[in-house]
Structure 1
């Protein structure tokens, strides 16, 4: 992401995620997240089948850039795994490449703590970046009441809200609750992601995750420094876009 270099006082590096040995459940969950990110990237933006001089073919499916958050996808599915059992849990763990729900929860807690470490609220120091991270799960009342244990895991390990709603009897209220969460999680940058047309009697749950970032360049870009250069695509085709100086 462009413009993510942070400002503020220098801090000693503290790695909260990779302090386990290579055989620990949290480390396995970390490796699973990396593998999942690569699989999603290949699915969203597959490499061109062969080198070609046709610029439209070099763009894959012809549609622009792709941006996604592997952490968000992983955290949302891991949150679902925290409340799953039996075959559903086994399938989620296999997909996420994690040995256990406990290992997932431990890893996700460390990631969330690392992301939010001294970077919530007004940022890390004067002029520092502002980072918000959180998740949410809204389960239809027909599936039963959420347990206190699950709510605790959701809040402590996934920084997530866990609520029971009724997508069939009170769809407007459920949708309003979800959109209000999204608005708060993105500091009002996004105020709506779902409508009543998106839920029905078949909707058992809705998962959400949000990562919000606001920061400034340490060294601001000067428009007068723009220059034209050569950009080489994976297909072998070259273009001449404008570059930041």
Structure 2
């Protein structure tokens, strides 16, 4: 399976999770998460399992084999997620970690895989008498890998004497806009909430041409980040429904139609009329096993098949107790800083462009950060209230 097909499958899974997650957190909850971070953690679990559990994870991740998942992860880490600052592009950090109780030894083939394909840090620890210390160690690791943005991926009490393995993943992104916004032009305007009320929020404005495409019921804005000397191009996309309360229907549409995003991305710059997007900052965390179980991924959490990870008879009793995920994003005039850490259709016809097009993001919208050369989606989120952190 080639990288592009794997990425298309991964993005379909990402929007399926996003649809479920965003529908659960309606109201005034802003959300950001990294589907890529979750994908990597699940891929490692798949590599360490067999039987029905492995089959269920493969089916969920829309992959034919663990070999495909491992190869995909290896390509992502080396191609898409390599730091771009040496070439003048965005700063990227991507790291995996595995903490194993000292009473267990990793299966040599699994250890080699985790080392080589996932470039993971491996640590032997004492969960049975030093669970709190191990939890602090994992949190310190995540904080370091996300430039201090994710301080506690594992909440208090999540690790105890019965814990035997922890898989963690951290991703950090900081990019400057190709064309920065003038902070002196930022002004407060009304942002309309789903309950019918509104809040005054700071909006960035511009009169420059923008990458915008318009369709029946929604518009898409592309904001490219400054590109380095390599070929990668990272961008933020805002998907804005026409209706103030149209976000849930738009998310449903994005997630139900395969490769929907690819066909809707703006390809050319247009003259803008009224152009306003809010500044926002979001910190969001969740225990993702609940979401995954509701989407049909139940076997990893029941145990019995995680036998490819360790050389021990206790492997029959291992199960995934929880997968914690935390993300952070800040969008302002300069660009975007984002981080995440994980521990365990209707055809639409395009509307003809008027001479000028408005893009006023003054009501709930979907956003994502994407690497455009490969199509990899790093983050997905929703802004329901730009003032709520």
Higher strand fraction: Structure 1 or Structure 2?
2
In the other structure, the counterpart of 1:106 is 71
C-alpha distance in 1 between matches for 2:99 and 2:17: 24
Aligned to 1:124, which of 83, 86, 92?
86
For the structure 1 residues 162 and 222, does the alpha-carbon distance in structure 2 shift closer, same or farther, using more than 3 Å as the test?
Answer: same
In the other structure, the counterpart of 1:138 is 99
**1:165, CA displacement in angstroms?**
2.9
Tell me if the contact between 2:132 and 2:159 (Cα under 8 Å) persists in the aligned partners. Answer: no
Aligned to 1:96, which of 61, 77, 85?
61
Higher helix fraction: Structure 1 or Structure 2?
1
Query: Deviations for 1:143-190, whole angstroms, at most 9, x for unmatched residues?
Result: x31133222221322232233433223213422331232133123333
User: What are structure 2's unaligned runs of at least 5 residues?
Assistant: 206-389
> 3-state SS of the aligned residue for 1:174?
helix
User: What are structure 1's unaligned runs of at least 5 residues?
Assistant: 1-23, 48-59
In the other structure, the counterpart of 1:42 is 19
C-alpha distance in 1 between matches for 2:121 and 2:160: 22
C-alpha distance in 1 between matches for 2:132 and 2:138: 10
The size of the alignment, in residue pairs, is 205
**1:106, CA displacement in angstroms?**
0.7
**1:195, CA displacement in angstroms?**
5.4
Structure 1 position 115 matched with structure 2 position 64: no
Aligned to 1:76, which of 35, 41, 44?
41
Tell me if the contact between 1:146 and 1:164 (Cα under 8 Å) persists in the aligned partners. Answer: no
C-alpha distance in 2 between matches for 1:125 and 1:216: 14
> 3-state SS of the aligned residue for 1:163?
strand
For the structure 1 residues 38 and 235, does the alpha-carbon distance in structure 2 shift closer, same or farther, using more than 3 Å as the test?
Answer: farther
C-alpha distance in 2 between matches for 1:231 and 1:138: 44
C-alpha distance in 1 between matches for 2:136 and 2:189: 48
C-alpha distance in 1 between matches for 2:202 and 2:155: 40
Tell me if the contact between 1:129 and 1:214 (Cα under 8 Å) persists in the aligned partners. Answer: yes
C-alpha distance in 2 between matches for 1:150 and 1:190: 28
> 3-state SS of the aligned residue for 2:163?
coil
In the other structure, the counterpart of 2:115 is 155
For the structure 1 residues 233 and 168, does the alpha-carbon distance in structure 2 shift closer, same or farther, using more than 3 Å as the test?
Answer: same
C-alpha distance in 1 between matches for 2:69 and 2:94: 17
CA RMSD of aligned residues (A): 3.2
> 3-state SS of the aligned residue for 1:146?
coil
TM-score normalised by L of structure 2: 0.46
> 3-state SS of the aligned residue for 2:53?
helix
In the other structure, the counterpart of 1:188 is 148
> 3-state SS of the aligned residue for 2:176?
coil
Matches of residues 164-175 of structure 1 in structure 2 within 5 Å?
164-175=124-135
For the structure 1 residues 139 and 39, does the alpha-carbon distance in structure 2 shift closer, same or farther, using more than 3 Å as the test?
Answer: farther
Matches of residues 210-225 of structure 1 in structure 2 within 5 Å?
210-225=170-185
